[in-house]
Amino acid sequence: MSIERASVLAVPGPGRDGVDVILGNPNFLYGQWESEFKPLLGSTARWDGFCYLVRDLLEREKPVIVETGTLRKPGNWKGDGCSTAIWNWIVGRKPGLAVSVDIESTSCDLARRECPGVHVVCADSPTFLRGFLPFAIDLLYLDSRDWGPEAMLESAMHQVAELSAIYERLPSGCLIASDDSHSADQGKPALTRRLLRMLGIEPVLDSYIVVWRKP
């Protein structure tokens, strides 16, 4: 998938003599994203996290997004969050690349249909990340293994395996984000918090979606 996809467009701004509204401007795009997605996500616990991530990505020239765990229920904004659809929106408006990896072939087929701008890979996520080399990543979004009473440790350990597979190759300034944080010790990023704290890295946003920035 090429990352040379979108050009910056300009149209005259209504009511502003000689002033153009630049469609590629991050503030313009963020306002557009907010108007489209707030009705879908604004009342959910993920809203603050998605706002932080989207604003940051839109400010990057060619954002590269890698996600573990792909879209499986279109329109399930309050349940799964539908993050793959958000990355599809971003790369549809900026030159960039979005990759989503999932081990379930049914989910991958669905995500390819619903989010054609996202490159969907059907693979084990730690194995895929261990071999991912083509582009410097701007956002690593970790959301693959379901968390729940019967899979708390398994889910948290799987996320640490994902991060460990690629951490050394993440560039400085890369965002690392995890969905499903229920408290400091509960949720998918429970062990990721401890690992990154050992490295002296604290969250830049601590919400249902936790976000760190690699030094």
pLDDT digits (tens, 9 = 90+) for 83-138: 999 999 999 999 999 999 999 999 999 999 999 999 999 999 999 999 987 789 99
Tokens of 30: 């963020």
pTM over 0.85: yes
Tens digits of residue pLDDT in 137-180: 999 999 987 656 666 678 889 999 999 999 999 999 999 999 98
Spell 27-48 as b/e; 16+ CB within 10 A means b. eebbeebbeebeebbeeebbbe
- Predicted confidence (pLDDT) at residue 17 exceeds the cutoff of 90: no
Classify residue 81 as left (phi > 0), alpha (psi -120 to 50) or beta: left
Close Cβ partners of 97 (under 8 Å, ≥ 6 residues apart): 1, 3, 62, 63, 64, 65, 91, 119, 135
The residue among 213, 196, 194 whose CA lies nearest residue 204 is 213
Q: What pLDDT score does 184 carry?
A: 83
- Predicted confidence (pLDDT) at residue 66 exceeds the cutoff of 90: yes
d(CA 53, CA 19): 29
Q: What pLDDT score does 134 carry?
A: 77
Q: What pLDDT score does 148 carry?
A: 60
Q: What pLDDT score does 187 carry?
A: 80
Mean pLDDT taken over the chain: 87
Q: What pLDDT score does 23 carry?
A: 59
- Predicted confidence (pLDDT) at residue 18 exceeds the cutoff of 60: no
- What average pLDDT does the segment 193-202 reach? 96
Instruction: Identify the H or E element spanning 175.
Output: strand 175-178
Which domains can be identified in the chain, with CATH numbers? 10-213 (3.40.50.150)
- Predicted confidence (pLDDT) at residue 192 exceeds the cutoff of 60: yes
Residue for token pair 């704290």: 197
- What average pLDDT does the segment 62-69 reach? 97
